[in-house]
């Protein structure tokens, strides 16, 4: 069966520090991968998606970047965090016209 | 389209009552729809889905209704339980090679014991 792992679960980082959040998927090949951000009490905002290795599309201009170095690995990064980067980050995968599967999320607090 | 900047509306129901959560979707070309449940501090979990060639689908205690004429989707939860308290999101698939799902703003369901 397919599983998605996302870590860390929580992270507190100072302003100006770098960020790296990792997401890996098991049990499937060539999935579409997605990074979402969710502010407290708000909806899901799509940040990046990838349809293949090295292929990244950005949905909104921001301080973050994404990479897909392997088929089932998706990384969200920042060189210098801003206070406004705080939020709940969700990784998801999807294959074909079926449901998307989400990781458990990373709660990022920038202080 | 996405409504990520809006505070989520809240539906408050008594335990044992039926709940109806509504969603308006954006694109008449959308061919697949999903309802997700998100508990506090967790990722969204799949509840039920429906394809555009259907207008109703039933699961265990949940029913999804699709009205393509007015681009409306609803989730009905029978005999609502305290464990149903969560945020519920609808999502639509607009056919493309990206596989992006467009999420609705979400509704918070509060179940009173």
B53 touches chain A (CB under 8 A): no
B23-32 mean pLDDT: 92
Per-residue confidence (pLDDT) for residue A61, from 0 to 100: 75
Place of tokens 């555009």: B52
Q: Measured between CA atoms, how close is B85 to chain A, in angstroms?
A: 14
Torsional sign, CA A105, A111, B3, B9:
positive
Judging contacts by C-beta atoms under 8 Å, the chain B residues touching residue A32 are 98-99
Strands of the sheet containing B19-24, edge to edge, are B19-24, B72-77, B62-67, B56-58
Per-residue confidence (pLDDT) for residue B38, from 0 to 100: 96
Per-residue confidence (pLDDT) for residue B19, from 0 to 100: 97
Q: How far is CA B89 from the centre of its chain?
A: 4
Per-residue confidence (pLDDT) for residue B6, from 0 to 100: 57
Determine which of B2, B98, B108, B110 to mutate to test the interface with A (most A C-beta atoms within 10 Å): B98
B70 touches chain A (CB under 8 A): no
List b or e across B30-59, with b for residues whose CB sees 16 or more CB atoms inside 10 angstroms: bebbbbbbbeeeebbeebbbbebeeeeeee
Question: Quick check: B10 pLDDT over 70?
Answer: yes
pLDDT band at B16 (very low <50, low <70, confident <90, very high): very high
Q: How many alpha carbons lie under 13 Å from residue A82 in its C-beta half-sphere?
A: 5
Contact A97 B31 (CB under 8 A): yes
A12 touches chain B (CB under 8 A): no
B3-31 mean pLDDT: 87
Per-residue confidence (pLDDT) for residue B1, from 0 to 100: 42
B31-56 mean pLDDT: 96
The DSSP annotation for chain B comes to: ---TTSPPPEEEEETTS-EEEEEE-S-TT--EEEEEEE-TTS--EEEEEEETT-SEEE-SSEEEEEETTTTEEEEEESS--GGG-EEEEEEEE-SSSS-PEEE---EEEEEE-
pLDDT band at A1 (very low <50, low <70, confident <90, very high): confident
List b or e across A38-75, with b for residues whose CB sees 16 or more CB atoms inside 10 angstroms: beeebbbbbbbbbeeeeebeebeeeebebbbeeebebb
Judging contacts by C-beta atoms under 8 Å, the chain A residues touching residue B31 are 97
Place of tokens 């259907």: B54
Higher pLDDT, A88 or B8: A88
Per-residue confidence (pLDDT) for residue A60, from 0 to 100: 84
Contact A43 B42 (CB under 8 A): no
Higher pLDDT, B109 or A41: B109
Q: Dihedrals φ, ψ of A85, to 5°?
A: -80, -10
pLDDT tens digit string along B62-113?
Answer: 999 999 999 999 999 999 999 999 999 999 999 988 888 989 889 999 999 8
Structure tokens at A102: 């989400």
| Cβ atoms of A68 and A53 closer than 8 Å | yes
Structure tokens at B63: 């029913």
Average pLDDT, chain B: 92
Q: Measured between CA atoms, how close is A99 to chain B, in angstroms?
A: 7
For chain B, positions 33-52, list CB contacts with chain A under 8 A: 34, 36, 41-46, 49
Average pLDDT, chain A: 94
Per-residue confidence (pLDDT) for residue B5, from 0 to 100: 53
Report the percent of chain B where pLDDT is more than 90. 82
Q: Which helix H or strand E contains A46, and what residues bound it? A: strand A45-52
pLDDT band at B7 (very low <50, low <70, confident <90, very high): low
């Amino acid at each position: 069966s397919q599983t998605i792992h996302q870590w860390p679960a929580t992270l507190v980082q100072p302003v100006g520090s770098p960020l790296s959040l990792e997401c890996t998927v098991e049990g499937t090949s060539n999935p579409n991968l997605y990074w979402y951000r969710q502010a407290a009490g708000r909806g899901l905002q799509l940040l990046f998606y990838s349809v293949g290795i090295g292929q990244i599309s950005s949905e909104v201009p921001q301080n973050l970047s994404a990479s897909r170095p392997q088929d089932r690995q998706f990384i969200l990064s920042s060189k210098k965090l801003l206070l406004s980067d705080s939020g709940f980050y969700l990784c998801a995968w999807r294959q074909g016209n079926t449901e998307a599967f989400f990781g458990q999320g990373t709660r990022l607090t920038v202080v | 389209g996405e409504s990520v900047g809006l505070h989520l509306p809240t539906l408050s129901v008594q335990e044992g009552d039926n709940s109806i959560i509504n969603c308006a979707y954006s694109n008449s070309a959308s061919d697949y729809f999903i309802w997700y449940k998100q508990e506090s501090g967790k990722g969204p979990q799949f509840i039920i889905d429906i394809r555009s060639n259907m207008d109703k689908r039933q699961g265990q205690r949940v029913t999804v209704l699709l009205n393509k004429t007015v681009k409306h989707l609803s989730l009905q939860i029978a005999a609502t339980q305290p464990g149903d308290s969560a945020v519920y999101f609808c999502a639509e698939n607009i056919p493309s090679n990206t596989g992006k799902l467009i999420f609705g703003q979400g509704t918070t369901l509060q179940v009173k014991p």
